Structure formats: C-alpha cells, structure tokens
C-alpha cells in the first residue's frame, strides 16, 4: 500500500512550499491536501456568549477554500501528480490531527506558520500542536524567505 501523506494547505507561501516539498519528496505516495476553514476567521465575538456566525461570511470562506484546493491541484499537475483534496471546518491543529487519524495518514507536511501579524502570533502554535499530537511523523517547512519575518 502506498504511503499516505497529508499536506495542510492555506493561502500562505509556507503551505505552497510544503505541498511542493511533499510532491517532490513522496512521488510514490498518495497525497492528501487539506484546507481547514477555521470559524474564527469568519465569525466575530459578540461580547457575551462567544461568537456570532455570518452565513454569508461562511459561504465566502467555503468558496475561497474551493479555489485554494483548485490551486493545489494545479501545483500537483506541475509534478504530473494527482492529489486528494478536502476542506473541513474546525480548529486547524485539531482538524489536521483528526483527519490524519481518520485517513490512516503516515506523515504530515505543513508550513511553519500560515499567517502574519497578530494572526500569526495567535495561530503560530498550530505546527507545534500538530507535531506534538500527530499520529505519525511530521515535517515542518519553514518560510521560503525568513528575512520577511523579522
């Protein structure tokens, strides 16, 4: 049976680098590309009970996820490869781990961080949480241009 590789994919250069790494390194593997649609990105705090969710914002985020996954398929075609794509809703690290467990993933590849500014600080521990709880091995791809993070 072919090795099962999971690439966490978002709009960041690190995610693109992670996908390219997986495609060039694991050419005999079945590669899954997962985009996690985090509710914190399309909801707002209501100040009392938690978060308010906008159906329009959710639908827009789903459309963006579909476009990102189409981009991932395009990158795979550059390597003469096919990928299995999926979009899930949830907290990123937990959803990546759950997907890996449910699909018998052998190895996870993800970017070191996918956001910048305050978002990056708040979500920067995703790679660390995945690394600590993953059911298999994990490769973290660092920023292609580290000078940009200073």
Task: Give 81-124 pLDDT, tens digit per residue.
Answer: 999 999 999 999 999 999 999 999 999 999 886 454 444 444 45
Instruction: Tell me the CATH number at 80.
Output: 3.40.50.620
When divided into structural domains, the chain yields a total of 1
Q: What integer pLDDT is reported at residue 123 of this predicted model?
A: 42
The answer to whether residue 27 scores a pLDDT higher than 60 is yes
Range of the domain at 17: 4-149
For residue 131, which of 109, 149, 116 has the smallest C-alpha distance?
109
The more confidently predicted of residues 21 and 60 is 21
8 A C-beta contact, residue 39 and residue 53: yes
Q: What integer pLDDT is reported at residue 118 of this predicted model?
A: 47
Per-residue pLDDT, averaged over 43-67, amounts to 73
């Amino acid at each position: 049976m072919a090795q099962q590789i999971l690439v966490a994919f978002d709009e960041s250069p690190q995610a693109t680098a992670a996908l390219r790494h997986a495609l060039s390194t694991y050419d005999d593997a079945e590669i899954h590309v997962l985009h996690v649609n985090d509710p914190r990105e399309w909801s707002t705090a209501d100040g009392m009970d938690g978060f308010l969710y906008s159906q329009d914002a959710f639908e827009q985020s789903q459309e963006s996820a579909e476009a990102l996954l189409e981009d991932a398929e395009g990158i795979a075609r550059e390597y003469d490869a096919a990928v299995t794509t999926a979009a899930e809703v949830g907290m990123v690290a937990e959803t990546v781990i759950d997907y890996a467990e449910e699909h018998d993933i052998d190895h996870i590849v993800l970017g070191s961080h996918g956001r910048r500014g305050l978002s990056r600080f708040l979500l920067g521990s995703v790679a660390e949480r995945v690394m600590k709880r993953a059911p298999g091995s994990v490769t973290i791809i660092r920023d292609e241009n580290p000078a940009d993070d200073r």
